[in-house]
Structure 1
Amino acid sequence: MGLSAPAEHSTVEYAPESQEGWVATRLDFLVNWARANSLWPMPFGTACCAIEFMATAASDFDLARFGMERMSFSPRQADVLICAGRVPFKLAPILRRIWQQMPQPKWCISMGACASSGGMFDNYAVVQGIDTIIPVDVYVPGCPPRPEALIYGIRMLQEKVKNERAADKGTRDEMEPDPTSQLYIPPSVIDELGEPFGNSVNQTRSGL
């Protein structure tokens, strides 16, 4: 998956029958353009996909060309969570808490087969897709995906951001994973996974 074909650029168009005015649609275009080209990603790397993310941010591929030069390692200063690698069930509460600490607007990229579906780790210890814990906007396939694939996924996310409209009710509401999914993990179960374990009641490895 590469970038041989130029991405199609879409704009917010004004419809006469719409309740919005020309100023509102132009304001949407300006705000979305600024957001799409100044995304602050927070890498959540747990395995080999994180190495490919580092390569994407390095000079050879230069992720800064797409407005993502500023990496954030604080969830309160990030707006894109890039989950790269497998997520054990013990790590699920931490991932969910990091997502909840990120301010709106925020988006999520699932990088690699392990983050998207569990990959080869189809067992009792690994979450079978982070979309059972938090909502995902873009999936990047691969094991691990090449830097070009991640860049393509970022470009897809930028196009999605550019098409958002303030008049659409619920656009920025906190979305939850589909509760009807067979793999859905209820929040109460996720919280239980982060409780102390072992022989000591004071023993915990959640870190948060």
Structure 2
Amino acid sequence: MAVDPELKIELGKQGIFVTTIQELYNWGRKSSVWPMQFGLACCAIEMIATTMARYDLARFGAEVFRPSPRQADLMIVSGTVTKKMAPQVVRLYNQMAEPRYVIAMGACAISGGPFKQGYNVLKGIDRYIPVDVHIPGCPPRPEALLQAFMTLQKKIDEQSLTGENRPRYLNVDAPGEFPVPEQGEHDLVPASNPNVWTVPVVIR
């Protein structure tokens, strides 16, 4: 049962704090997101800068970049994803702990960026794994990553533990693992994950 916001403020003035299990649960999750320690290209330098003293990502509870995917719940895809690297990115994502999230950092991770027409560059990591927040730019500044992180925290805070709006990991019908693409004769096989990405319909 939701508590009236004005009543919560009034009770707070009296030293009484009212909350729900869902609010407490989401507060704990959004305040302790642990990113995975890996980078792909030049955007990784901006990601590293975000953790330094000037920007201090630790203020948001993400000071620990984990070296193992089994200890991380946030993947920051920072840079160009080549078709040779795409299977490794998906494999790392599959090994991450649930609930897990993805931030696509930079134009290359979102759409291939300036290398989009290259035969060896993936046109967006969202073809294989679900992306929660996209950060445009080439490369985006640390402030953009901080904004994306706060956007992700807001998304986590609004998740419901039950009902249709519950997160994917609480849905028993949702896939736990995503297919790892393999190097085919001419391209990656499969070319995309149909459960995550479909070819957009262009109406002319």
TM bucket normalised to smaller: 0.7 to 0.9
Contact 1:89–1:125 (Cα < 8 Å) also in 2? yes
Report the counterpart of residue 141 of structure 1 in structure 2. Answer: 136
Contact 1:43–1:83 (Cα < 8 Å) also in 2? no
- Give per-residue Cα distances to partners, 1:3-37, cap 9 Å, x unaligned: xxxxxxxxx9469xxxxxxxxx8101001001001
Give the alignment's TM-score, normalised by structure 1.
Answer: 0.73
Indicate the percent of aligned positions where both proteins have the same amino acid.
47
Aligned-pair CA distance for 1:191: 2.7
> What RMSD, in angstroms, separates the aligned Cα atoms of the two structures?
2.2
- Give per-residue Cα distances to partners, 1:127-163, cap 9 Å, x unaligned: 0000001110000111000000000000000000001
Distance 2:2 2:96 in 1: 30
Aligned-pair CA distance for 1:45: 1.0
Give the alignment's TM-score, normalised by structure 2.
Answer: 0.74
Contact 1:83–1:110 (Cα < 8 Å) also in 2? yes
Report the counterpart of residue 118 of structure 1 in structure 2. Answer: 112
Contact 1:49–1:144 (Cα < 8 Å) also in 2? yes
- Worse-superposed segment, 110-119 or 43-52: 43-52
Report the counterpart of residue 157 of structure 1 in structure 2. Answer: 152
Higher relative contact order (CA 8 A, sep 6+): 1
The partner residue of 2:87 within 75, 80, 93 is 93
SS in 1 for 2:113: coil
Aligned-pair CA distance for 1:73: 1.5
The partner residue of 1:47 within 41, 61, 65 is 41
Report the counterpart of residue 26 of structure 2 in structure 1. Answer: 32
Unaligned runs of 5+ in 1: 1-11, 16-24, 177-185, 194-208
- Give per-residue Cα distances to partners, 1:67-117, cap 9 Å, x unaligned: 101111110000100010001101111100100001210100000000011
Unaligned runs of 5+ in 2: 5-18, 185-204
Aligned-pair CA distance for 1:192: 3.8
Q: How has the CA–CA distance of structure 1 residues 34 and 66 changed in structure 2, closer, same or farther, with 3 Å as cutoff?
A: same
Q: Aligned residue pairs: how many?
A: 163
